[in-house]
Every structure is written in C-alpha cells, then in structure tokens.
Structure 1
C-alpha cells in the first residue's frame, strides 16, 4: 500500500522456500536503493513510510503502490523478485487478504515483526478505529518469515479464534477457514543493513467465479471493493499485472484500473509469464510494450520470473535475474525489439521506473499533504469542540457545580438583568422586560372596566355627547378614558394592539368591555328608588353604589387570572431555556429532563400560591373601602361638576354659552376723548352679576350662576354616579398595582426561592444512592462516546503525522 523499491547488498541465498532473495550486484543498487539518490530524497521516502505507520492514510491520501491483477497473475512472484520477501506458495494459500510490507534499512541486525491490522470485526462491520495486534515475537531468521505469514493469514481468515492458537499449533492448514477473503491485513515490518527502503501492498487477486466448496457469492464483490478502496485514491500508483498466458480481455484488473485511472497517468502495466505465451502469439503482446495498445503514460513492462521447476531447484536471486536477462536477450520476438523498447523489459527496469514515478509523486504531494494535515487537524479539533463535554471523573461534584451555576443564573434573571446574547425573548430582553407588556395590558384592561355613566335620560341620551374630563386626560395622558365617540374608534385599535389583554377571556373569546354598557342617569335614579327602605326623603341606601361597584369588581377576575397565567407561561419558557442552556451538554440529557421536571413542579406550586393570593386580593375588594379620603372627595367633586356641566350644557344652552362668552368680553371698554377707557353699560351676565352685587350678594362669579337655577330632579343620581366613579378611580389604581406586585413576589421571585433545595431533593444526589444516581446522570450516550473516541484517535494520528512531516526539515 505504500512505497516500492528493490533490495541491495543481500547475501546470496536460495529463492524458493526456505530461502530469501539476494541481489547479484554488490556495487550499485537500483530503484530507491540506488546510492546515487540524494539524501533528501531518501529522507522523504522514509517520511512517507513513517506517515503510513501512523495509520493516517485513512485520513490523508498518501503516495502508495498497490499491486493488482487477476488471481494467479504472478503478483506474488513479482513482489518477491523486486523485494526479496518470500510469500507462501502452498496450495490454497493464494493471497486472501492484503499483505503490507514495510522495509527500512538500518545498522541493526536483520529482524521482522509481524502484526495483524483489523479494520472490520468478525461480522465484517467497519471498526471506528483500526486495531493493530502483534502476531508473535520478533523474527531474526529470514527462513521463518514465510511460515509466520502463512499463520498470520490463517488468523485473519478465522477472526473468532484466538491468535495464540495459530501461533502454537503445528499444522494450521488442517482447519477450515471461516472466511474466504478479508479486509483485514497482515503487516510485515522488516529492517536490517541489507534491506532496501521500500513498502508495498499485495492485494488479493480479482476473481471471476467462486468454487462451490470455498467462499461465498459475495467474495467477487468483496475483493473488487477491497482493490477499489486502494486504487481510487489519486496518489495511488497502480501496478497492474497481466499474465500473458490468458487473453487480455478476460483479465478484469485492467477494466478496474481504467475505471479509476481512465487516462493511464498513474498506472504502470506489467506483463508476466511471457514464457507461457502459446507459440506464434507473442506478437499479440508486443503492441503493449510499444505502448500502441492500451497506452499508459508510464508504459507497459514485461518481466520473467522463475518457473515452478526453478523454484523447486532452489535457484538464487542472482540466478533468477540472470535467467530473466538470458530469456529476453535470446528469445524472439523480445530480443528483436528495437533498443528504445528494451528498457521496458526485465525487473530491474521496472523497479527503476517505479522508483522514478514514486519519487516524483512524493515530491509533488508533500506540500499538499502538509496543508491537508493542517486543515484536518483544525477540522477535527472543531468537531471535538462541538461535542458535549466529556464525562467527569467526579460526576457528583460536577452536578453540584452545574446546579449552583443554574440557580445563580436564574436569580440574575429573576432580578431583571437582561441576557443580551442568549435571551429567550430577543437581544436585550430579559424575564422582567418580557413580563412588562402583559402587566401594561392588565392595567388597561382594569381601567376599561370603569362604569360608563351618562348624565342624560335614556330617550335623549344617545344624541348627546359627553366629553372626556380634562382632569383625567391630564392625569393619565393619551391613555386616559375616551369619550363615547372616541371609544368606538379606539376599541378597534385596542383589539389590534398587542392582543389587547382586557378584551379576551380565559377561553380566548372576545369579552364585551364594560365601558360599552352605557348607564343612563334615569336608570340610576330608578335603581335608587327601588332600593329605598326606611330612609328619609331625599336619602338613598349605600347599597345602590355598592351594586355598581360590585358589578365593576366582578370584571377584574378575568384580567387578573389571565395576567397570572401569562406570567406563568413566560417564566416557564424562560426557565426551560435556562435549563437547556446549563444542562444540555451533560450526559445523555437525563439530567436536563429531570431538572426540567423539578423546575416545572416547583413553578406549578408557585402558580397555585399566586392564584391564592389573587383570590385573596379580589376578596378584599368585595367591601368598598379606602382611607384615601382626600383623593376620593376630590374625584367626587370633579365628576359631579363634570356631570352637572354636561346636563346644563344641554338643559340651559343659552346660559352656558353666555357664561362661556362672558370671560372673553368682560375686558372690552370704549376710550374717552382723553384716551382713557370708559366702562361700557353692563349687559347680560355682567348686568346680572352687577344686580346681585347691588343687593349685597358680592363675590358671586359667572360660573356660580347655574346654582341659582331650580334644583335638578336628577341630583340624587348625579351624587350616586359621582360616588361610584370616584371610588373606581381610587380602587382600580390600587388593584392594578397590587395584583402585579403579588404575582411578582409569589410567582416570579418565588421561582428562585427554594429551587436549589428542590433540585437536590428531587434529584437525590445527596442521598444514600447519590453516587449511583450521579453516575447514571453523567453517563454519555454510546454514539457521542464513540464519536469522541474516533475523533480523538484521528486527531492523535494527524498530530503524530504532522510531527513526522515537520521532522523532514530538521
């Protein structure tokens, strides 16, 4: 799966088992073992090998060479020829899992470490993180490598059996394998003074059919998927082996290589077994060497490996290379090829091209790899940061800290500090600010329950206008009481404004405003007459006023209840948001859920107490009472004057207009001949006031003249209306303050009172089972735990790879 080269300076040993391969040329090497390569280039090749050792190839596309081909296409023989590693060749031991070999030159004695790399479990499901396990001890004798590889492959194909079984049993070939192929791999780490710097991966051969006695129907797709996983990466050099003894069209490896490298830029073709071409058909393969057929950017090569008889004869590596040279030098049509194509024959030339292509690829990819590593490290850290906090080793202490932080934040919101960044209701709006509009709607709803008295008789009152008292307008501003004509227009606006609180009942239906129910003066007088018992003439019982007051107070129940419910819902949403803010990242959400339940129950108790308080305040209003006698008397006199003025305006319009005009004309005088003003002859109001002064009634003003008129028969009704209306002004302001204050004390501030104790009691974290409860609450979901573990291992791989990459410049 990685870099590839050929060995140099190996001892001459037999080629077949038990043997190791040796190079025949002691003075110079080929490929990556060539001593003429720069030291910097060799360090880069070694660096990529180290990067592969970190496992970062699952995250970053690293330069690599993958050997692919159909089954029995000569891949293993090719690898042995260019690396010197002997692979198992007994019957039924063809490559059935990837075999990764990492070689490194060192001054230490020769040694080999065999490991098993698991990327899927026994059921074939992908593991979150690759797992490496040492398979046996260190090998110091080359002849032992082949047997260890054979045993390792058996262990890979039997994932449910212990590894120790395959290391200690004398003959592991007797056991039927559980799997026919596997995505898990055997890894060889070989080092020594006579070892070349290289890495390679021998992939299982592509198969066209599965025998009935071995394997499953999905093996074909499994092997093709495995090969595809390697060669689809842009930095993978595809070493495509094609056996000349089989028709080219019947070998599916070429189809797969062309699918992922359609332009042939990173594929190097290798023709194997040229000695088995049927006589007379050799010319069919020459167009490949000339790159005339299925052209590749790095050309096609042809190699000749030892036959089975040669292997049994235990020929040496140098003898094998000499036999290959003799074959191409004497065997037609290979020996007849033009000199320009001779460089595409023989194993040494193939390795030379592999070295050149791989070196160029590494040089080009190193800066890109560094950038990819940096981006991956940043992205992985960001993903880790987005995960909930890892479980604490002391969950009880952490839960206690969370509870205290939550209650402190809750107190801050209850005190009215807005949360600019994380406000439930918008930037700059806190809990108290969110409640205030509901309180204002409540005040308006209570004010709108004012009795709508008209100081006119019913039969003519509909045509008469009662203006808004100036003292109310100046007292309450534009929000003061509206006149009859103004109310009709304002009612539509009020309904549209902020879902006018006083116009809806608890069921959400439109409630008829009491102010729209006009009470005429004759209705008041008739009710007063019916209520009389033993009173003296001209006197009426107080029950008349109380009846009107009771009717008004009844209208206060719904707005008070609606305000309480609205504040409760607002607080509930706010508290729920705060719970989520403080506990959402703890455990699997169980703590958040339980805290929400406890807070909800605590808030429900506060609501019940607030409703009890509201009922108590409403009960106080059953009996009209006020010690604010000054304002009560002042309001009564003002309303009485207002109602009388309205009746006089329509009853004595001439007198009223004369009085209004008197103030404008009383300073008008005619000057004499000396320019001094002379008093005019008094007329109208002035004449009346002058006449009253003549008879001794001094101090009478123009506005006092209506008092000289005969008594109004509706005077008792005007007194009752003024009493009721004055008491309403005092009582509604008192009630409009007391209800919000009670709700704020019992419901809003009551939420914070005792909440910490309620949380500790409800959660039971301080009880005898506190440790167990805290541990359960802190338990992280398997999905998040696995995600954190995977990202942590990925970050570790990336950081180690980054350190290795930085070492090249040191």
Structure 2
C-alpha cells in the first residue's frame, strides 16, 4: 500500500530521499480532478492551513474513518492510522502535547495506561474538545464539550481512571479532583484497579488553527516491572502495530543508542522492511558537545548511510518543552524558538539542517508530512474499506436473519401458531417423519436392550449332575434358526441401533439384568421337584415345580422393563425440553416457562398411566401361566426335551469347562455332521412307518434315564420361556411372511408397544389440546395473560437492536464512502 506514497526512488543508500517524496497537500488524489483541486488549495504556511473547502473535505474523511473505527472492527477494516510507541519517559507525552496543542497527564513513571486516540480536525471556527470511551463493552461519550484547553488534562485523567476502574460507576469520575483520582486508582489499596487497559480514551479536538490528523498514543514500554505487566503492554503495542495499514511512529531519546530500543525492535518485527515506520528522535538537546560518536551515529542515520537502521519513511528530530519550560509556561512560539536554536547550533542537527532537502527537524516538519501521508493512505484505502463494509453489512444481515422474527401484532394468533408449530414438531420427532430420525433410532436402541435383557433371563439348564463343570449347552438348531429369523441375534430387526454405540447383545443383556441367571443342573431341578411334591401319586411331576421355575425368569423381566421405560422417558424429556422447547419458545421466556410447567404436568400424568399399563403387561405373564399356542409349545417342548437328552447322553470329560474344544461345537447330534447318524436316519426312512423321521427323533431311541423327570421339567420350563418371550407361529417359519412374523412376538413387543403407544404417542398426540386448554384463550383475562406470555427475551431484543443499529451505521458508512470526494 505504501509504495504509492513513497515515490519511485531506487537509491537504497539514500535513506532520506523517500521522505522528500511524501505527498504534500498538492499531491493528494492528483490522478483525478487535479485542476479543481488546485483551485481549492491555499498557501502552505507555518501552520499548514488549507482553504476552508478543502479543509472540510479532509475533516470529513477523518470523521468518516473515526466513525468506522468506532464500529469496533479494526482488524477487519484495517483503517490507516498512526500509532505512537516508545519506552517509558521517551518523550511521547511531550510529543503528543506539541502535536495536539493540549496538556496530557504527567506523573512519575508511566502516565499513559490505556490507548489514547487523538483526532485533530480543523473543520470548526472555534476550539473545542470532547472525550469518549471505546472498547469491547463500551462506546459512549464521557465528557461534556470542553472549551478551555486548561481543562483537558483533568478530563483525560478522569477518563483514564474510569477505564482502569470498571468496577466503579463512570459517573463518579466526572467530578473527581486530581487527588481523588489518585486515591481511586491506587491498585495497592484496591486490587480491582487495573494497571493497564485496552479500552480507548478518545480525545477529539476541533482546532481551526491546528491540523487534520489522527494518531494513537500507546502506553510506554516498561523495562522493569512484573513480567505480566510487561507482557500486557507489549501485547497491546504489538496488536496495534501489526495492522498492515498502521504507520508506526517510534519515539527514541537522542541520548540513547538506537540498537537498544525495545520499541524499535517491536517495530522491526511488525515491519521487517521498514516500509511503514518513522523514527522520531526526542530530546534533541540532550546530546553533549563531546559525544562525537553519538553525533556521528545520528548524522549517519539521518543522511541515510546507516543501512541497518534504514526506514523508507525516514527520521525526524524534535526538541520539546522540558519540565522547566512548562513550569515557566512558555508559549508555543517560544517553544519553537528554543527548538530552532538547538537545530541551528547543536551537532549533529546543524549538519542535518544543512542537507539540501525539506527539513525534518521540529514538530512542524513532522506534522507537515504526517498529515498528507495519513490522508493519502486513507484515500487509497477507500475502495478496500467499501468492500470490507459490504462484508460486515452482509454478516450483520445474516445475523439478523438468525434471530427470531419480531412478535406479530396479533398476539393471540401468534401464540396459537407457536403452539401448533411446537406440537407438530414433537409429533414429527417421535414419528420420525422428518429428515432427522435420531429419536426413532435411540428409541429402538432402548427396546433392543430390553429384548436382549429378557432373552438373557432364559433358564440356564445344564443336564448334568455337576453342571458347574460344563459350559452352557447350545440351543437346538431349530431354535437358533428361529432366533435368526426373528432378529434375536446381531442381525436384529431393530436395525442395530444402540444406546451407547455399537454394543453386543450380550453386553446389553448384562447391563439390563439386575442379577445373573443361576446355573441349574439335574440335582437342582430334582430338589425343586421334591420340595414341590405333595399328595401326588407316584410318577406324577407336581405342576408347582414348573411354576416355581417359570416364576424365576418371569420376575426378572420387571427391572429391564423399568429401565427401558426410564430410558424412553429421559429420551422424550431430552428432545422436548432441551431441543424443541428452546427452538420454539426461547424468544419468549414467560411463555417458555409456562409451556415447560404444563409439559411436565402432562408428561407426569402419561408416565403414571403408562407405567401402570406396563405393570399390567408384566402381571399378565404371572400365574396362571397360559398360552393358546399349544402346537408351538408342544413342538418346542419336544425339541428341547430331545436336545437335553442328547446333550446328556453324549457327555464326555473332554467337553468339560476349560477343555480345548468348546462344548457347543462338539456335542450336537442334531447338526447332522455325523456320518453314522446320517446313515441311521436314511435306513429308518426306508421303512414306511418312519419315513418322516428326523435327527431330533433319534433322542427317543435313547435308553431310559434316571433323571427323566428332571429332563422333562427342564424342557417344559424352557419351552414355556420361548412362548412367553416371543410367541411363535404353529407352522414352518419359511411360510410366514416377514411382516406377520414381526407381529407374533409377545413380551418383547408388548412392553415396547405399551411404552410407545401409551406414553410417547399418548403424550405427543394429546399435547396440542392440553396446551390450548391450559391457555384458556376464551377467558376474560386472556388478552392480558397472552401479552404477558409473549414478552420477548430481553437478550434477544437487545441483540436485535444492536444488530439493527450496526446495520444502520454500516449502511450510513457505505453511503458516506460512496459519496466521498476530495
């Protein structure tokens, strides 16, 4: 950017030549309407006064940039500015006073503790000053219009104190004296007082005898302080000078070596090529006659021979009033006279002054070049700023679009529409009618866990006298195929949904059961039969023995059912209260609270009724144990009885628990892998009377077992579990359509269907009528209640107001940028 204002000099050894080509007032915007501008220009005297029309244009541009900066998007806009940096007591305050024509606070040590932005404008016929505060959470005027220069210093103190003490009402500082300010900002007495702040104190000065300029005076770099304080100040300086369009004005005391200046090091880090850095040598009168080395060093720098210190925008030297001068209350004219005496008589400045180019000695020379430099940069930045403002305006419009619409004038209609939309969203969520099926998937996961838990409650019968020494026998192949068809395995019809990710069915079962299923062997079943036997005749197995064993697995279904219900309830509450209610009612907190209260009441009613319904489903599985699916029960009983007999008949020590071959893989005659069994079945089928014999029928040929009654009880109980767990068809599964098969389940469907129908759908489908009934829109006081319910969230209203105000300002900025001419 700066190439356009630095001239075309290619002589790398001439450090000062680029400064001589800085744009003067006559160079500004020379590409267009140059004749008109020439007519607008006035003489270029000591105070650099332009004619009133051109001065107004310059003032308009600076005001425009000031207002842009007040929007709070400095980094996005990168508005050209001048940042004054330097170490503590480097003469920054004196330089600011000389440029701005005012007095600033002075104290021992650091006196500038926050950025001070000075805007100097000549667009007025009388002198005045106003002080404002700008920051992340503040953008407001602080002082009244100040018409006496002598009052500015105290008002700046008050503004800086208000910034450093955010815990104190700012109004209190507007009437404080210097001593009161000193006490209020003593951080040793009040730990809430900040040592430094990023909040900006803006000093806007209208001075018809001044110049048009904007610069920011930053706190001085502190060489010796707490590491945290040193870092805070350095970070503040880095943040300002890192902006590509910021001119870095580095103040360096003449009696110091340039190599040792922290401020210059930070400037080089931010501006490695030295394209936008200006060196200002302060305290020019402090070089002693005998310091010939220092004199030569500064002479080389100003003449452009010190390549390591080369700056495209060069160096300036100033002699500013000392404390003694201020005590004597010297006038600006006297200050200029003292400075001229130094530059005329003191080396190396008298040698620098003799160079054949415009002087860079004195505050007047610095102002002469800074003002047109900044104005030229601002003019060049206008196209880029227009695009940036367009981007910010688009972002503001997008943010406004994300906010809820303003409340409608017809409050009753608005309220009804809100309720309708909310209830429709609840139904869409639980029905899975929209694109988001997450609720359905998570519901199925809970039902899958219930199914796995109930399936895991099956009796663990092991047909051995010492069952703990054997693994649990595998199920008969016909049962395995039936489970695969109905989705009991990993290929569940529930689609594999899981509450906690991809959990196996055994893991879900372990989570769902409150206690493990006990292993029962033949002796355990015999004990139950003996304990249940009363006056029965010999060879009669008491029915009580079977009911006792059936009750053992039926009672285990209560806890998984409760867990499933609680999970579904939590799921409904999460979607309703955490997602849907905020989505539809966040704009109106009173209405949101009312709706939540009514929802909780309504949901509790459905919960109580649905819980009772689930308990009834489980109670129907208690005594008497009953099924009309007799054919399936009988078929299943035969399968299990033959299975237990086969497993017992083929028991072998190598199949005990811990053997190298899994029991379920080796002991399974019904698998049909044995050649002898296949040959035996083929031989039997050759006999007409046994043409339908199968591998499972071979168990009937086994010799009578002394534990025959126990095996029968095992088969009866296990087959009834199969019926109660999932009632199956009384004809081959291959003939059963999948849709019908999915509806012949018993407990594993009855419980979920009850939960979903009575609780989930009952709550969702009756919600609209319930809410409208509670609103009672036909009552006499309905209008007042509706108005109260539709009071908008103050945060939303405030955010909308801020965005609309920002939009208005950006639109105004856009018009002003488009209309600006100079």
With normalisation by structure 2, the TM-score equals 0.57
Aligned ranges 1:328-367 → 2 under 5 Å:
334=349, 336-337=351-352, 339-340=355-356, 343-347=359-363, 349-355=365-371, 357-359=373-375, 361-362=377-378, 365-366=381-382
CA distance in 2, matches of 1:529, 1:430: 48
The CA deviation string for residues 335-370 of structure 1, in whole angstroms up to 9 with x for no partner, is 555534664345554344434643564466555555
CA distance in 2, matches of 1:47, 1:315: 33
Secondary structure at the aligned position of 1:261 is classed as helix
Does the aligned pair in 1 maintain the 2:249–2:280 contact within 8 Å? yes
Secondary structure at the aligned position of 1:65 is classed as strand
Counterpart among 587, 600, 620 of residue 617 in structure 1? 620
CA distance in 1, matches of 2:55, 2:377: 16
- Match of 1:289? 302
- Match of 1:258? 265
Does the aligned pair in 2 maintain the 1:99–1:185 contact within 8 Å? yes
* Runs (5+) with no aligned partner, structure 2: 6-21, 27-40, 163-167, 187-195, 465-469, 489-502, 650-678, 694-702, 728-743
CA distance in 2, matches of 1:42, 1:799: 20
CA distance in 1, matches of 2:253, 2:813: 38
| Cα distance, 1:219 vs structure 2 | 9.9
Alpha-carbon spacing, 1:577–1:518, altered in 2? closer, same or farther (3 Å): farther
CA distance in 2, matches of 1:638, 1:326: 120
Aligned ranges 1:215-364 → 2 under 5 Å:
230-231=240-241, 233-242=243-252, 244=254, 247-249=255-257, 254-262=261-269, 263=272, 264-272=274-282, 274=284, 277-279=287-289, 283-284=295-296, 285-292=298-305, 294-303=309-318, 334=349, 336-337=351-352, 339-340=355-356, 343-347=359-363, 349-355=365-371, 357-359=373-375, 361-362=377-378
Does the aligned pair in 2 maintain the 1:7–1:196 contact within 8 Å? no
Aligned ranges 1:406-445 → 2 under 5 Å:
408-414=424-430, 416-417=431-432, 420-421=435-436, 423-424=438-439, 429=441, 431=443, 433-434=444-445, 437-438=448-449, 441=452
| Cα distance, 1:146 vs structure 2 | 0.9
Alpha-carbon spacing, 1:100–1:38, altered in 2? closer, same or farther (3 Å): closer
Alpha-carbon spacing, 1:29–1:739, altered in 2? closer, same or farther (3 Å): same
- Match of 2:82? 65
CA distance in 1, matches of 2:639, 2:107: 119
The CA deviation string for residues 36-65 of structure 1, in whole angstroms up to 9 with x for no partner, is 999999986664344235454376432212
- Match of 1:552? 550
CA distance in 2, matches of 1:429, 1:808: 61
- Match of 2:155? 152
CA distance in 2, matches of 1:584, 1:517: 60
* Runs (5+) with no aligned partner, structure 1: 9-24, 120-125, 138-143, 211-215, 455-461, 482-495, 534-538, 651-656, 667-684, 686-699, 704-711
| Cα distance, 1:152 vs structure 2 | 2.0
Alpha-carbon spacing, 1:164–1:569, altered in 2? closer, same or farther (3 Å): closer
Larger Rg: 1
Secondary structure at the aligned position of 1:48 is classed as helix
| Cα distance, 1:231 vs structure 2 | 4.3
| Cα distance, 1:299 vs structure 2 | 2.0
Is 1:498 matched with 2:498? Answer: no
Does the aligned pair in 2 maintain the 1:152–1:186 contact within 8 Å? no
Secondary structure at the aligned position of 2:137 is classed as strand
Does the aligned pair in 2 maintain the 1:377–1:798 contact within 8 Å? yes
CA distance in 1, matches of 2:351, 2:545: 129
Is 1:115 matched with 2:130? Answer: yes
- Match of 2:516? 509
Aligned ranges 1:527-676 → 2 under 5 Å:
532=536, 544=542, 548=546, 551-552=549-550, 554-559=552-557, 561-583=559-581, 586=586, 605-606=608-609, 608-619=611-622, 622-623=623-624, 632=630
- Match of 1:17? none
Alpha-carbon spacing, 1:257–1:595, altered in 2? closer, same or farther (3 Å): farther
- Match of 2:758? 749
Secondary structure at the aligned position of 2:750 is classed as helix
| Cα distance, 1:731 vs structure 2 | 6.8
| Cα distance, 1:423 vs structure 2 | 0.6
CA distance in 1, matches of 2:394, 2:179: 51
CA distance in 2, matches of 1:664, 1:502: 46
Does the aligned pair in 2 maintain the 1:603–1:747 contact within 8 Å? no
Instruction: Report the count of equivalent residues.
Output: 672
CA distance in 1, matches of 2:142, 2:56: 33
| Cα distance, 1:727 vs structure 2 | 8.4
Secondary structure at the aligned position of 1:187 is classed as strand
CA distance in 2, matches of 1:223, 1:452: 80
Does the aligned pair in 2 maintain the 1:81–1:347 contact within 8 Å? yes
- Match of 1:185? 201
Alpha-carbon spacing, 1:279–1:778, altered in 2? closer, same or farther (3 Å): same
| Cα distance, 1:260 vs structure 2 | 3.1
With normalisation by structure 1, the TM-score equals 0.58
Alpha-carbon spacing, 1:154–1:568, altered in 2? closer, same or farther (3 Å): closer
CA distance in 2, matches of 1:713, 1:218: 92
CA distance in 1, matches of 2:618, 2:573: 26
Is 1:198 matched with 2:206? Answer: no
CA distance in 2, matches of 1:320, 1:100: 24
- Match of 2:137? 128
